[in-house]
Structure 1
Amino acid sequence: MKFSIDTLLPHSNDMIMIDEIVEISPEQITAKRLIKEGDVYVSDAKLAGFAMLELMAQTIGAYAGYYAKTNGAKPTLGFLIGSRKFDILKDGIEVGVCVHIKAVCSIQDESGFGVWDGEIYDQKQIYATAKLSVLSPNQETLERMKSE
């Protein structure tokens, strides 16, 4: 099943930072992005290093949205709780470069809490790696969180 990214992520169009899902399975996802002039967080013809964490987080969000839609549910908000071992191996990604963003699930519990290993790369190099802690609650849990 194929869905457009804007139906999987609850971001406004300007803030969606991935172009498409390349591969997805129950354990992992790979997305891609062509870095363009005018993209959010692009300055001096480069995507800022810190923004690579957001690329990884949105890829995980697309994973959650994909499986929600596949199961007949509406994608909900997800939360980046934190990261460990965020290594920026190259200071930024140049405009015109197409990168792949891969996220592999280490653990995921029933509440929606998960830990993912992320990596951003192209054919020549790895740009960044990180271990991300996320919360992707289902609609019922999200409503309960809002009311508390």
Structure 2
Amino acid sequence: MQTPIRHLAPLLPHAGSMILLDEIVAYSDSQLQALARIGPDHLFLDENGQLPMWCAIEIMAQGVAALAGCHAHDAGQPPKLGFLLGSRQIDILRPTVAQGSLLCVQVEASTRDEASGFGVFDCRLSLLHEPGDANTDSAETVATARLSVFSPPDIEHYLQEQIA
């Protein structure tokens, strides 16, 4: 797919206002860079018009999901359901960001096992100071994490095993 990608619904197993990313700037086999604009109708704004940075984990996880969705799309497949298992390391470097902010999420695969569906991704969320500038050199890092994820190769079979 050509970047930038601005229509993300076909790439993510999310819907409506739960899609927190606005644009995929670039992706490769193991990396993705995307933007998230914090508009006035953002799902998680607090009463002061601020986005609490506990949301950073979900934004970074959606970056991982978007990378998987890009690969699925390139292979002619729909996006697969995945699970955020947790993190060994999360650093939240500020409590909130203001409405109107532009965030850049960068994810990079550290470990992936396609056969089992397990993966570990190094993630960084940055506040861009120049709107429309996806150059993260001058950006302020607001959160980092190493996310562990699981996307079983056969989700239907996996879910049936969990119910049984």
TM-score interval, normalised by the smaller of the two chains? over 0.9
Q: Distance in 2 between matches of 1:99 and 1:9?
A: 18
- The answer to whether residue 69 in structure 2 is matched with residue 65 in structure 1 is yes
Q: State the match for 1:55 in structure 2.
A: 59
Secondary structure at 2:34 match in 1: strand
Q: State the match for 1:32 in structure 2.
A: 35
Q: State the match for 1:23 in structure 2.
A: 26
The one-letter amino acid of 1:130's match is: A
Q: Deviations over 1:91-142 (max 9, x none)?
A: 111111111000111000022210001101124411000010011233xx21
Report sequence identity in percent.
38
**Which structure has the larger Rg?**
2
Secondary structure at 2:145 match in 1: strand
Equivalent pairs, count: 146
Q: State the match for 1:82 in structure 2.
A: 86
4+ residue stretches of structure 1 with deviation over 6 A?
Answer: none
Q: 1:93 aligns with which of 80, 87, 97?
A: 97
Q: Structure 2 length as normaliser, TM-score?
A: 0.85
Q: Distance in 1 between matches of 2:21 and 2:97?
A: 14
Q: Distance in 2 between matches of 1:124 and 1:26?
A: 24
Secondary structure at 1:85 match in 2: strand
Secondary structure at 2:53 match in 1: coil
User: Once the 2 structures are TM-superposed, how far is the Cα of residue 77 of structure 1 from its aligned partner?
Assistant: 0.7
Q: Deviations over 1:4-53 (max 9, x none)?
A: 21111121211000001111011210100111122111111111111000
Q: State the match for 1:105 in structure 2.
A: 109
Q: Deviations over 1:42-66 (max 9, x none)?
A: 1111111110000000010011111
Q: 1:45 aligns with which of 29, 44, 49?
A: 49
Deviates more, 1:106-115 or 1:3-12: 3-12
